[in-house]
Copies of this chain bind each other. A is one copy, B any other.
Amino acid sequence: MAQTDEKSGGVTAVRAEKLRRLVERILTAAGVPAADAATVAEVLVEADLRGVESHGTTRIAGYVSMIRTGLLNPKPGVQVVRDLPSTAMLEGDQAFGIVVAKRAMEMAIDKARRAGIAAVTARNVTHTGMIGFYTMMAARAGMIGLAMNNGPAILPPFGGKTPTMATNPFSVAFPAASEQPIVLDMATSIVAGGKLRLAAKKGLPIPGGWALDRHGVPTTDPSEAIFHGFIQWAGGYKGFGLATMVEVLGGVLSGGLFGRDVPPMKDFGKDPLVTSAFYLAINIENFMPLAEFGARVDRLIEHVKSSERAKGTDEIFVAGEIEFRKKAQRLQGGIPLSDVVHRELQGLAAEYGVPFDL
């Protein structure tokens, strides 16, 4: 039975395992092969567990909509178009980005085990979800993982007004020994587009400084920003520079679409969504024993955590730490699911004749 969180009206706490099973069943009923449905459910629920709700099960309605309109190919012919000892290129055939991303990182890890370092690109897939998932796969395998992907032309270059790139996320993960891995997972924009969409869905305003309206003036209205305006880059020209790196490694090197050639997307689930990605794995054992590396990462984490705190700061965090803590809480107390997502899942379950057991 789901428990209602009394502190936050309109939210229901659900068990991760039940949510995962429900998503899996909905996707299978929508025509997704069982193994792929399990992968998508795993990655989305992991995002919900880590507090990255913008990349969690809020996406299911959009995914199903894309399957129905043919924008997402549930049974794609994913091809390895080039396969060398340290590199490979995948053609995604508009598959679930999540499914191809997991496969690409598995290949990179596998190749890096022999070659030391390996990179795999994946082009022409749909939404890739929380890319920290894939870099954490590398960290679990005792490697350093990097992941990044381009996407719809929705943000202008720094100083411009013509949509040219996506919020181009970048992630890197490092295994520790006794600590949790360090996991950086960030949009190169000041916020991820998903956070605007979630605010719009909840009917909440966004902080000033996140976005510009159609006239290039700051706005707190997420819908204005999503449908007519632009998100800003993190750190101005620096964020745009990092987004350019992601565009080249993800879009150019992969043989995929890039820049203004990627279809823009205003409405997730209704508009075309094409992304391309770059995954890299580095075998730590090429440099030092994994245990030694982990102990050194532990020590760095200790240096960060034990810093004297600035005024107004209660605790200092390393990248990914807040998310690991949230996951532990949510594995215990459940994932707080918004009424909107709850209703979406309920509706899909009814449509597909799947038991709605949350």
Contacts and interface: CB of A to CB of B under 8 A. Distances in A.
Contacts of A242: 184, 242
A119 B241 contact: no
A251 B288 CA distance: 13
Contacts of A245: 172, 174, 184
Contacts of A296: 252, 258
Interface in A64-115: 82, 84-87, 89, 115
A125 interface: no
Nearest to A311: B216
B159 A310 contact: yes
Most-contacted residue by chain B among A82, A160, A174, A261 (CB, 10 A):
A160
Most-contacted residue by chain B among A190, A253, A284 (CB, 10 A):
A253
Contacts of A158: 316
Interface in A219-250: 234-235, 237-242, 244-245, 247-249
B160 A313 contact: yes
Most-contacted residue by chain B among A245, A260, A318 (CB, 10 A):
A245
Interface stretch (A22-30, A50-58, A297-305, A341-349): A297-305
A186 B238 contact: yes
A161 interface: yes
A303 B315 CA distance: 43
A307 interface: yes
A86 B309 contact: no
Given A244-B318, A287-B255, A159 B300 contact: no
A80 to B, nearest CB: 13
B144 A116 contact: no
Contacts of A311: 216
Contacts of A244: 182, 184, 300, 304, 318-319
Nearest to A294: B252
A253 B284 contact: yes
A240 B303 CA distance: 14
A117 interface: yes
Interface of A: 82, 84-87, 89, 115-119, 121, 144, 156-162, 164, 172, 174, 182, 184, 186, 190, 216, 234-235, 237-242, 244-245, 247-249, 251-255, 258-261, 280, 282, 284, 286-288, 293, 296-297, 299-300, 303-304, 306-311, 313, 315-319
12 contacts: A84-B286, A85-B116, A116-B118, A117-B117, A159-B317, A161-B308, A164-B303, A182-B248, A234-B238, A251-B300, A252-B293, A253-B293
